[in-house]
């Protein structure tokens, strides 16, 4: 058990039929985006919200061989302060030739600060690309099955894993025709607004949808002495429930004195409501007059968004 890094590729064994199946179409297009990872829509299990993360070109320490690696993510906003969720799970990839899921068993201690498991290296990327068993019609299917959940808390309880019908999601990546948008938000009265729990930018349009930036000036509930930033889909969007945008986005706070901007970029994510970072920048650093992120009561936030595909139920 451990809460860091990635693990050596296991010998792939037969696994259970997963709770969540994720079919990535146009895998070659995913590689062409140069994205470090792709993150699924959430799936609900036993009172928690989970995500699957696939890193198509992951490199282990001291190894130049790129692997297709999988990690499990727990949405931290459903966690209670001081609780640790220990999950035992299997991550897998579907073998079309043998008609079964192949993967490995893993476990992880999830909490507010550690909500991504170790990356499990399943298969070398070049081996996957040459395979007619795992990659069919430029598509591959990944899965995760959660076997056991224990919660370390004052009550100390074991959670009964309530298995439901398998959730299936499709993930499509375009080869061209990406839609890009940029928005700059200048906050002129931060010291007045920082008394609020959060505040938001004016609405802007990108990719035919309306968006806004949400700032938590003292951090959201998962933050530790940091300012939190999120990019959000506006509720007025007329977006079909069955289809969601796959996007890559960067949020940045501009350094108005030294040009040393703070930039954080996602992999490819499925936008349902919002995505961002609870610990975007330490408040001490943000408010330091010598740093240039907050000048008098002014700060500048920038959002860069690229829509690269879509996601729907399988």
Over residues 265-293, the pLDDT tens digits come to 999 999 888 999 999 999 999 999 999 99
Q: What is the mean pLDDT of residues 301-313?
A: 94
- Give the least confident one: 131-140, 149-158, 272-281, 299-308: 149-158
Over residues 204-239, the pLDDT tens digits come to 998 888 999 999 999 998 998 999 999 998 876 665
pLDDT over 70 (residue 14): yes
pTM for the model stands at: 0.89
144 sits in which H/E element: strand 140-152
Q: Report DSSP letters for 86-155, one per residue.
A: EEEEEEEEEETTTTEEEEEEEEEEE-SS--BPPEEEEEEHHHHHH-TTT-BTTBEEEEEEEEEEEEESSS
Among candidates 22, 46, 272, 52, which has minimal Cα distance to 168? 22
pLDDT over 70 (residue 3): no
Q: What is the mean pLDDT of residues 129-134?
A: 93
Q: What is the mean pLDDT of residues 36-47?
A: 91
How would you class 2 by CB atoms within 10 Å of its CB: exposed for 0-12, middle for 13-18, buried for 19 or more? Answer: exposed
- pLDDT band of 6, cuts 50, 70, 90: low
How much is the mean pLDDT over the chain? 89
pLDDT over 90 (residue 2): no
Tokens of 234: 């506006």
- pLDDT band of 159, cuts 50, 70, 90: low
Helices (H), 250-306: 283-287
* 173 beta partners: 309
């Amino acid at each position: 058990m451990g809460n860091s890094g990635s693990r050596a590729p296991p010998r792939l064994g037969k696994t259970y039929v997963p709770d969540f199946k994720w079919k990535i179409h146009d895998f070659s297009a995913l590689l062409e985006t140069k994205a470090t990872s792709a993150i699924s829509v959430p799936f609900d299990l036993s009172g928690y919200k989970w995500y699957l993360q696939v890193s198509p070109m992951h490199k282990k320490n001291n190894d130049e061989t790129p692997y297709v690696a999988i990690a499990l993510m727990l949405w931290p906003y459903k966690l209670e302060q001081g609780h640790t969720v220990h999950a035992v799970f299997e991550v897998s990839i579907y073998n079309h030739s043998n008609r079964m899921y192949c993967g490995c068993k893993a476990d992880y201690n999830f909490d507010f600060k550690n909500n991504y498991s170790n990356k499990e290296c399943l298969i070398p990327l070049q081996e996957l690309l040459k395979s007619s068993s795992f990659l069919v019609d430029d598509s591959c299917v990944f899965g995760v099955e959660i076997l056991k959940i224990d919660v370390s808390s004052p009550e100390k309880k074991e959670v009964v894993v309530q298995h439901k019908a398998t959730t299936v999601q499709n993930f499509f990546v375009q080869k061209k025709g990406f839609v890009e948008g940029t928005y700059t938000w200048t906050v002129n009265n931060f010291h007045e607004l920082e008394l609020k729990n959060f505040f938001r930018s004016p609405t802007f349009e990108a990719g035919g949808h309306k968006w806004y930036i949400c700032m938590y000036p003292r951090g959201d509930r998962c933050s530790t002495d940091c300012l939190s930033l999120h990019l959000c889909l506006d509720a007025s969007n007329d977006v079909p429930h069955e289809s969601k945008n796959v996007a890559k986005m960067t949020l940045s706070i501009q350094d108005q004195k030294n040009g040393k901007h703070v930039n954080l970029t996602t992999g490819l994510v499925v936008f349902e409501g919002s995505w961002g970072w609870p610990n975007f920048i330490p408040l001490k650093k943000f408010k330091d007059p010598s740093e240039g992120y907050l000048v008098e009561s002014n700060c500048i936030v920038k959002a860069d968004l690229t829509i690269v595909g879509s996601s729907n139920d399988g």
